[in-house]
Every structure is written in structure tokens, then in C-alpha cells.
A = this chain, B = another copy of it.
Amino acid sequence: MSIEPIEQTAAVPEASADPPRVLASALAVHIGRTVRVSGWLHRRRILKSVVFAVVRDRSGLAQVVVREPELRARIEALTEETVVEFTGEATANADAPGGVEITGPALRLLGEPAEPAPFDLYRPELRATLPTTLDNAQVALRHPRKRAPFEIAAAAVAGFREALSKREFTEVNSPKLVGTATESGASVFTVDYFGGKAYLAQSPQFYKQTLVGVFERVFEVGPVFRAEPHDTVRHLAEYVSLDAELGFIEGYADVQAVLEAAVGGMLSAVEERAGAALATLGLSLPVMPAKVPELHFTEALAMITEATGEETEGLDDLAPAHERWVGEWAKREHGSDFAYIIGYPMSKRPFYAHPDTARPAYSASFDLLFRGTELVTGGQRLHKYSDYLAALAARGESPEAYEGYLAAFKHGMPPHGGFAIGLERFVAQLTGAANIREVTLFPRDLHRLTP
């Protein structure tokens, strides 16, 4: 192979013009030199003797000082959000943002808006309701505080992949168009597929298990689809699922070890690569201790009853208030923002869940709570063909509908397990977003399919 190294004059090669473009955040190292700054006209401050033009690029804000009357007039006539390029001298000024400003500028217009933006993007907070913000996402996302969650999301996903790649997981792409609506029939989208019917995959569950038989350890980052009829702050019709599955485990604890490595990798990557976004939002990262506190489902209920007096006997699931209680317990007793609840009743888990062999009414599976809200579901799965047949029969389901999935188990599968992390939920909890739509670029729900 013969690949020449890519020539890079700076860390980030910018477009080919001369002098090279400098990002706002890097201006200070160019003091005394002629530089080119490009971005959106974020704000103008028009004073008697001077106009300050603030240019926003992907790295931050740059101040341009305009004194020359003809240029001043041109800038006064512009609209905010005009895409501009200023070439001038990077000049030290302790009073300017970042201690540097552009003086003696020449202006080139790169893109003019057809109409003013629906919001003042220069304000510290975007003053608009969530529906208005979402209706105008194309522009609202340009606001630094609106953009920041997605920089956090991108870093988190990169950290997820790195943690798993380092552990020899193979990244896979499973189909989103599937032939049967099996995993949870009620909430599946139907597709007109060449005159027949297909369905949108609700998760890569069946495929990632099948692929344990091929690669042993797999992960996937991709969209999943739920025809979710509930209009809540936590549900979307389409979201990004971070899935992993691994074979040759001894039990669910081996899955937890990988999950903790993955979540740890996500948090480290957010800290390292999205530091500016964290600062913009004034966030600090959660605490994940070396040993994440863990309660068995029955233990959690007993503790809740003891602490609150609430009758929990016979419950087969936890209510959101119970999860919050466990989250508070983990923080109070263990200083942890994360907590496991293990051993949910088998009746509340999908048919492929593996039972706890010592207490078969309970599953060898877990939820990971993040600040008292479910972030991850995972656990060990059944791996024997006969166990699948029995589990389906016990639920009154026919194996025919699962034929493609069961074929993997028919031909020898190792003990395995895995987990799925909802990306938007992770970012929502991390940023304290009240509504998951705030951390979704273009959310899809019962009422929203645009923009």
C-alpha cells in the first residue's frame, strides 16, 4: 500500500485560501499576524467611534474591531447570522474576549440570510418554548447552549466505541428493516416493503445475539424505532441505542464489568473531548465508583418498605419513585451516581432473559440506574435452543415467528449476555435536561416528524 501522509500545517486543516483560516479559540497564538476568521455574524455592538462585530465559529467567538467608515456602514447594514469572513491583524487586547481581537479588517460575505433568525442567538439563553425551539431546530441548534449536548453525545459515543474496541468487540451493522414484528408487537412501525410488509427494528437484540456466534463480542451504535404511543418527556419514536453483547461469560457480572468499562469510557471521553461543552452548560461529571452499588430487586423493595413504610409486597416491578429512592440511597450511602438493581422478576423480562439458577423466578439481569433513572438494561440471555423453545411455549408464543433468530441457538451458542444504553437518556441525565427532546437533534414522536 502506498498512502502518502496527509499534510497538515495545523492540527486542523482548513480550506485552501490564504492566509489560512484561524479558529476563534486559536487566535491568541497568532497575535501580530494577519489572520482570516470565518463564521456567523453573532452580534454587533454599534458605538459612536467603533463597531464591534462578533463572529461565531465552531470553536467560540472572535471580536472584530471596525473603525473605517465604509466598512462600518456595510456591517451596520447586515443581519445577524450572515456568514462572514474577516481578514485582519490578530491584536492583543486584555479587554477583548480571549485577550485578542481582529483589527484593520477586510470583509468578505460568504452567505447572506434571506430573513432574520427567529431568535436572538447572541443571548446567553435562547428565549423560546421547547416546541418553538424544535420547530426551528435548524437555527436554534446554533446557539452554544443548544449545541453543547450534541458535542457531549458525540464524545460519549466515541468513548463507548473505544472502550469496546479495546476489548476486541467487533462493530456490526444489523438491519433496521425486519421481517417479523416479534420483540414487542404493540409498538412496532410497519413499512410498505415492495408491496409486502416489513417492520422497523425495535432493537438489534436478535441480531447482536446471533452475531455472538460469529464474532463472540459485538457492539452496534444505531437507530432503533418504537411506535411509542405515550407522549412523555422520556420517550421518542426513534433514538440511538448503544448495544453490546458478548459470549463466554460466567454470569451477568461479566456483562456488568464490560458495561462499567463502556460507561467509564463514555464519561472519560466527555471530560477529555467535550470539556468546552461541559463548561458552557456549567456541568460536572457524575461519580462512578470502582464498585457500583447493587441491590437485588427484592432487597430494594424491602429497604423501601422499611424506609418509607410503603407496602411493596407482591410488586413485580419498580415504579419511577422506587428507582429515585434507590438512586438517592446509592448517592447517600456510596457516593455513587450509579446503582444496579439486579434480579427483576422473570415475568417482567423478555423471554430471552436467563433466570437466576438459584432463584428461577428472578432473572440473571440488571438495570443500571443513573441518578435514579433507568439508563441501561442488560443481563445474561438464554443460550440453549431447548430453553428458548420452553420459554416461548411458557408465554404461549409459537417458535415459527422466531425462526431466523432461533437458528443461531440451534447450531451451538455460548453463554452470553449484553446491554443497551439509550444515548439520548444518557445525555439527558448528564445535562439535567427536563425533556429528552432537548438532547435530540430532530426528535420524532407522536406529534412530531419535522423538521
Contacts and interface: CB of A to CB of B under 8 A. Distances in A.
Contact of A15 (B141, B254, B268): B254
Interface string A1-30: 111101000011111110001000000000
A222 interface: yes
Interface in A87-118: 110-115, 117
A40 B412 contact: yes
A407 interface: yes
A240 B171 CA distance: 13
A288 B83 contact: no
A211 interface: yes
A57 interface: yes
A256 to B, nearest CB: 11
Contacts of A352: none
A4 B158 contact: no
A43 interface: no
A113 B412 contact: yes
B142 A214 contact: yes
A16 to B, nearest CB: 5
Nearest to A121: B411
A281 to B, nearest CB: 15
Given A223-B176, A260-B6, A412-B81, A167 B450 contact: no
The oligomer's copy count stands at: 2
A111 B415 contact: yes
Interface in A179-220: 179-180, 189-194, 196, 198, 200, 207, 210-211, 213-217
Interface string A277-319: 0000000111111100000000000000000000000000000
Nearest to A413: B111
Interface stretch (A61-69, A339-347, A366-374, A378-386): A378-386
A3 B264 contact: yes
A177 B201 CA distance: 13
Interface residues of A, number: 127
Given A111-B413, A290-B4, A407-B136, A200 B210 contact: no
A449 B407 contact: no
Contact of A404 (B138, B157, B172, B288): B138
A289 B93 CA distance: 46
Interface stretch (A122-130, A355-363, A438-446): A438-446
A4 B385 CA distance: 39
Interface of A: 1-4, 6, 11-17, 21, 38, 40-41, 57-58, 79, 81-83, 85, 110-115, 117, 136, 138-139, 141-142, 147, 150-151, 153-154, 157-158, 161, 165, 167-168, 170-180, 189-194, 196, 198, 200, 207, 210-211, 213-217, 221-223, 225, 227, 229, 237-238, 240, 248-251, 253-254, 257, 260-261, 264, 267-268, 271, 284-290, 383-386, 403-405, 407-415, 423, 441-442, 444, 446, 449-451
Given A11-B168, A111-B412, 19 more contacts: A1-B267, A4-B289, A16-B257, A40-B412, A110-B248, A110-B414, A112-B384, A139-B213, A141-B211, A142-B213, A151-B170, A173-B423, A176-B238, A177-B237, A189-B192, A189-B193, A192-B192, A210-B451, A223-B223
